Structure 1
Amino acid sequence: MVTGGHGVRMRYDYRHDIAGSGAGVAEGTPRRLRLTRSGDTVTGHESADGMTWTEAGAVRLPGLPRTVRVGLFAASPRDPTLRRTGLGGATEQVCWTQVGGTFDRIALRGAAAGGWSDDAVGERNRTDWEKGHLVSGAVERNGAIIVTGAGDIGLKGAEDGARPVERTLGAWSWRCSSSPWSQRGSPSPGTGPGPRTTCRPPVPGSLLRRPRPAILVAVLTIAVPYAVTSVPLLPDGLAQWLLRVTPAAGFAVQQTLVEHPRAVAHYAPSTGYFPLPWWAGITLLCAHTAMLLGLAPKRLPRGDGWAEGDR
């Protein structure tokens, strides 16, 4: 691809990106692009004059079918603006943008299964601007193809109307953590009198010896940090700090969003982005658990390790 601020880039599988020359591209300084295929390897080249070509990147795509599609595209990401809310949090307001690209001197070497066709990728022509000014699509004119489009290139996300998996897992986690607590010493239904296993967190319960303080510790260290960072209440920096040092960092296992250095977006916990990778969040959660396990034996009573009222 040719970009206005980052020169020529070669992107594959939506997430991986290779930098080309990095030279700025404008209307007066166009670039020529070329893709070549050899087996499962696709190589991209760029040129300023059509004579001297420089390799931008080579990508191996295992299992690439014998026949593939090649085409032209134009994309323009949204322009985000942050509006302050709550105690310093921010909500994202975006402006729709559109771009047009003129492609000429188009050539194809090798076997072709058919001619060019105009296919929509995603949604288009739904805004008032497209309906009344310039529709998104492709037009062939004087031997060139003018492609007009909007939107970024990437995996579908919440902005497309889909519910991200981290929201689904978050709701499931809340339901599990809000299970009712049984009273100490009460018999289990249908089992007769005797000890009853509860949903008490074992480590805080062992350390504090009473369920209510254990609940308070779990809520303050896990539920509260997750809750206040899931909504745009706190500043992004503070929200990210909480998810880096508290046991709530373990929620990073839900991470499905990927930060792209050249993609303009609001990367914050309130938008579903966790500051730590999943493995780092789990490691921090395990470190907190290990610390509590190390403190628990010092607080447990002698004997079998449980007070009579806790059975």
Structure 2
Amino acid sequence: MSILRAEWTKFWTVRGWVLGTVAVAGLIMVFGLAPGMSGSCGKHGPASECKPLIGPAGVEVKDGFTFVHQPLSGDGSVTVRVASLTGEIFAGPGASRPGLAPWAKAGLMVKSGTTPGSTYAAIMVTGSHGVRMQWDFTHDKAGPSGSGPQWLRLSRAGQTVTAAASPDGSAWTEVGSTQLTGLPVTAEVGLFVTSPQYSTEFHEGLLNGSQGGPSLATGTFEQLTAEQGWSGTAWHTDWIGGKPDWSETPETEQEGSAFRVAGSGDVGPTGAGVSATQTLVGTFTALIAAVVLGAVFMSTEYRRGLIRMTLAAGPRRLHVLAAKAAVVGGVTFVCGVVAAAVVVVFGQRVLRANGVALLHTTTLTEVRLMVGTGALLAFSAVLALGLGALLRRSVTAVTVAIVTIVLPYLLAVTVLPVEAARGLLRFTPAAAFALQQAVKQYPQVDDLYAPAVGYFPLSPWAGLAVLAGWTVLVLGAAAVLLRRRDV
């Protein structure tokens, strides 16, 4: 305990180290509270406010599709053969090419009403993901794979909806079943078609990203039949979420029990967007300050010859190393948590005041962002401390620490192609930046899940485990050499 107290006292008596601590917290807050990003939400009167569409699970969703439907009262089922699904990709005004978005969808849906964001369940054929059952935007279950025409069936019994598929209309496979809370006695049931924004990854110079445009899908349906409960005889076409204004969507064509339906949009969770993570943009520069602080807290003692006095006062060398790690790790952790708490709470207000549409972040996620930022800085500072003990020279230790911890992140978000960036962030200390990811990845949503836009290949705590592993490895090597080498 006396060694820990001595190291604590030593830390606060050196002005440079104190200023380094202030820099760690200050850089996060300066960048996080600066106006920075701006948007148009609320900038042109009340009607210009950005109001996210919230689904049954309480998350932001997209709900745009062509719906050919009629009411279903009570229990019943509907069956159809999806004969074909084709598509078109739009790269700009008047510029299009044949192509089917991977998550283009055509199938059957039961929905509580035509209000966007309302509860639903659907069975569908997709562009390249086979048959799927999806419900309430965030849920997805795979059915039979393969291409070609498919028979689909959707059955309702109370609030239970069951989906099935068949290649020939005789041998059926149940894809899944779900309970739709709040599904009214009379619901809307029918055909739907939609096709999401089509995007492709690109890597050019110092820029990674995605490019693409809207897409249109056209489904051809045959032998639409219904059993029980149908209260209407005419089919009505609605464009849920509004008809796309970028293209002349063909009108629905009906001939007996056959339909040709075109649609654009998406039915699912929002996926990408600006989140609370944006408020933590200063972490990168704060990390450099933390790394420098950790490295010089140890290496300065060698440079000035103070290490002899330190070890004379505390001959148990490993205790000295542990005390230094506890001090620099504790200080950077507290600074990181406090600064992150300030910017996560107030930085989001700044962004909204600037007209930025922020995705909703749960309280639990916000707490993880705060604690995770502190942990990222603390482990990085301790890793740098271990390098300082190994290398003894401040400039060398700082350089190696920055190359080991900071450079991989910089390369991943600016220079490397997406797959290489993901690989780098699986094994280097920069993997811990995953602690700051606030937007969930959904397999049924096409997006550029890349570090350049805030997505990381590991889960938050797995990323921290990678950094912790590096820290233990380097600190362990430093402990071995500290015991064996002369000072």
- TM bin (shorter chain): 0.5 to 0.7
AA in 2 matched with 1:205: L
Residue 249 of structure 1 is matched in structure 2 by 431
Structure 1 unaligned runs (5+)?
186-195
- Paired residues of 2:151 and 2:166 also in contact (CA < 8 A): yes
Q: How does 1:112-261 map to 2 (within 5 A)?
A: 118-121=238-241, 124-127=243-246, 130=247, 134-135=248-249, 139=252, 141-142=254-255, 146-158=260-272, 162-165=273-276, 167-168=277-278, 170-171=280-281, 173-174=283-284, 176-177=286-287, 199=332, 201-205=381-385, 207-208=387-388, 215-231=398-414, 233-255=415-437, 256-258=439-441, 260=443
Cα distance change on mapping 1:258 and 1:5 into 2, 3 Å: same
Distance 1:65 1:263, change over 3 A: closer
Give the letter aligned to residue 64 of structure 1: T
Deviations 1:82-135 (A, max 9, x none): 444117x6542214321123456353633769x9562523x65232xx1xxx23
Q: Aligned in 2, Cα 1:102/1:225: closer, same or farther, shift over 3 Å? A: same
Deviation at 1:3, TM superposition (A): 3.1
The answer to whether structure 1 residue 11 and structure 2 residue 191 are counterparts is no
Q: 1:287 aligns with which of 469, 474, 487?
A: 469
Structure with more helix by fraction: 2
**1:299 to 1:76, Cα distance in 2 relative to 1, 3 A:** same
Would the aligned equivalents of 1:6 and 1:24 in 2 still touch at CA under 8 Å?
Answer: no
Structure 2 residue 182 is the aligned partner of structure 1 residue 65:
yes
Displacement of 1:272 in angstroms is 3.3
Farther-moved stretch of structure 1 (3-12 vs 278-287): 3-12
Q: Percent identity?
A: 32
**The residue matched to 1:118 in structure 2 has which SS?**
strand
Which one is further off, 76-85 or 283-292? 76-85
- 1:19-30 to 2 correspondence within 5 Å? 19-20=143-144, 22-25=145-148, 29=149
What does residue range 43-122 of structure 1 map to in structure 2 within 5 Å? 43-47=162-166, 52=170, 54-61=172-179, 64-67=181-184, 70-86=189-205, 90-103=208-221, 105=224, 107=226, 109-110=228-229, 118-121=238-241
Aligned AA (1:235): P
Q: CA RMSD in A?
A: 4.2
Q: Contact 1:77–1:151 at 8 Å: present in 2 too? A: yes
Distance of aligned partners of 1:237 and 1:259 in 2 relative to their CA distance in 1, 3 Å threshold: same
Higher relative contact order (CA 8 A, sep 6+): 2
Check conservation: 2:269, 2:442, Cα contact below 8 A: no
Q: CA deviation at 1:35?
A: 1.3
SS of equivalent to 1:241: helix
In the superposition, the TM-score normalised over structure 2's length comes to: 0.46
1:117 to 1:77, Cα distance in 2 relative to 1, 3 A:
closer
Does the Cα contact within 8 Å between 2:441 and 2:449 map onto a contact in 1? no
1:2 aligned residue: 125
- In 2, the alpha carbon distance for the partners of 1:203 and 1:97 equals 48
Per the alignment, residue 35 of structure 1 pairs with 154
Give the letter for the 2:181 counterpart. Answer: L
Residues 124, 252 of structure 1: alpha-carbon distance in 2 compared, 3 angstrom cutoff: farther
| Residues 47 and 53 in structure 1, CA contact (< 8 A), matched pair in contact too | yes
- Given the superposition, is the C-alpha separation of residues 242 and 100 from structure 1 closer, same or farther in structure 2, using an over 3 Å criterion? same
TM-score under structure 1 normalisation?
0.67
Q: Secondary structure at the match of 2:218?
A: strand
After superposition, the Cα gap between the structure-2 partners of 1:253 and 1:47, relative to the gap in structure 1 and judged at 3 Å, is same
CA-CA distance at 1:34 after TM superposition:
1.7
Work out the CA distance in 2 between the residues paired with 1:241 and 1:49.
Answer: 43
Following the alignment from structure 1 to structure 2, what is the Cα–Cα distance between the partners of residues 239 and 205?
27
Q: CA offset at residue 269 of structure 1?
A: 2.6
**Per-residue CA distance 1:253-288 (angstroms, 9 max, x = gap):** 34445363x766544332433223334322211211
Instruction: Give the length in aligned residue pairs.
Output: 272
Distance of 1:32 and 1:75 partners within structure 2: 18
1:227 counterpart letter in structure 2: L
